[in-house]
Homo-oligomer: A and B are copies of this chain.
Amino acid sequence: MTAKQKQTEERTRYLDKVSFEEAKEIFFDALSKEGFFVADEERIDVRKSLGRVTSRDVVARRDFPHFPSSAMDGIAVKHEQTKGARGDNPLRIRDFKYIDTGQRVPEGFDAVIMIEEIEVFGDEVEIYESAVPGQNIREVGEDFKKGEVILKKNCVITPEAVAACLNCGNLEIYVKRPPSGVFIPTGSELTSPEEVGEEEVPESNSYIFKGYVRQWGGEAVVWPIVADVYEPIKEAVEKAVEEFDFIVISAGTSKGREDFTAKVVEELGRVLVHGVGISPGKPVLLGIIGKKPIIGLPGYPVAAWVCIDQFIRPMLERYFGCLLSKELRIKGILARHISSSLGVREFVRVRVEKRGEKCIVHPLPGGSSKLSSLVRADGILEVPEEREGFSKGEEVEVKLLEPIDQILSG
């Protein structure tokens, strides 16, 4: 082994790549063993539960409806007294009560005839059809019965679910406590976006982290920028582990002179994976400190985004026990050849162009350093590990980031 080979080997020791699926398995298995996915629960007002995830089945506390009510505007009648009414044999009745949709059916009455189907003659009404018991009546519990499950465990609360709970008298429900994540930006070149000096870079990846984690139901906090110095980074991580459920260190995961993330995680906990067969995102670090996940994100924004979407999202999905985003996939024809390395899962940003019934998929130029390729993308085309790319004209499947046909005429 030459000196050069030896040095290269040392530098890449932690960057021995594991495959994407293997990385997730190692990471999630470790988190599972430490109990990270066992969510705490809290009891909250259902009216403030939108988007939260149930931690138990929600069981109806009362019948809905809780009294028999009319399903129509009309008259409440006693069905016995309507017998024999027909179009050619109208029947006049006196023993009825006007009733509107939703009103309680008065005691002793057992059917409702629609207002459109009667004719009024002073105190009497004429009917043209006999009524059957229960007709146009919403029975007690016909929507939800007391004791019935309204929402299952692991369910994202929708607006209509809130309405259902309120109608069943379930004013408080149990939901999973949102896991809290902290983002620690490191890098001596980073600065606040307001005051960007000649050789400085505005810290912006935290907005990608924060935006998505909150969208997926987590809590997200961003800490002040830490310089590329070992001790302050270590201190920040130690403090973060005390206060948050998961920790993200931004950048410092490749092998430059000042990349301390791996060292810090090694000292405080365990590096599970460092370097994954994905592109962009290869230098990602997945570790654990106590029961808490720690993720070292690459510094390039697209690489950071891929790792947030591919590791943090499924981590939160396992915590909540449900999917947190709709995966909208479409098929299209590739407009030009793309190449990819064997053994690497490549996440290619693409534009999707609709041409009549067909979709044309245009890969966007620019590696992981180009945020423009993500901002302009309609979707992501994944090149699997066993492929060296896709050929021009091939049919491929794209995961859409945004609905296409987005711009309306109006």
State A61–B7 Cα separation when bound (angstroms): 43
Copies in the complex: 2
Q: Taking beta carbons and an 8 Å cutoff, which residues of A are in contact with B?
A: 3-4, 7-8, 11-12, 28, 32, 37, 47, 50, 64-67, 71, 73, 98, 100-104, 115-116, 119-120, 126, 128, 138, 142-144, 150-152, 154, 156, 158-164, 166-167, 169, 171, 187, 189, 193-194, 196, 198-199, 201-202, 204-205, 207-212, 215, 254-259, 299, 301, 305, 317-318, 321-323, 325-328, 366, 369-372, 374-375, 400-403, 405-408, 410
Q: How far is the CA of A128 from the CA of B3 in the complex (A)?
A: 13
* C-alpha spacing A400/B329, complex, angstroms: 13
The listed residue (B50, B196, B212) touching A159 by CB distance below 8 A is B212
* List of B residues within 8 angstroms of A406 by Cβ: 154, 322-323
Instruction: Find out whether the CB atom of B100 lies under 8 angstroms from the CB atom of A403.
Output: no
- CB-CB nearest in chain B for A126: B4
Q: How many angstroms between the C-alpha atoms of A100 and B11 in the bound complex?
A: 14
* Cross-chain contact A371 with B143 (CB below 8 angstroms): yes
Query: Does the CB pair B143–A211 fall under 8 Å?
Result: no
Q: A402-B156, A403-B327 are in contact. Are A299 and B143 (CB under 8 A)?
A: no
Q: How far is the CA of A376 from the CA of B286 in the complex (A)?
A: 38
Q: Which chain B positions have C-beta within 8 A of A205? A: 163
Contacts of A159 in B (CB 8 A): 207-212, 215
Q: Which residue of B162, B204, B326 contacts A162 across the interface (Cβ within 8 Å)?
A: B204
Determine whether the beta carbon of A198 is less than 8 Å from that of B11.
no
Asked if residues A116 and B196 are in contact (CB atoms below 8 Å), the reply is no
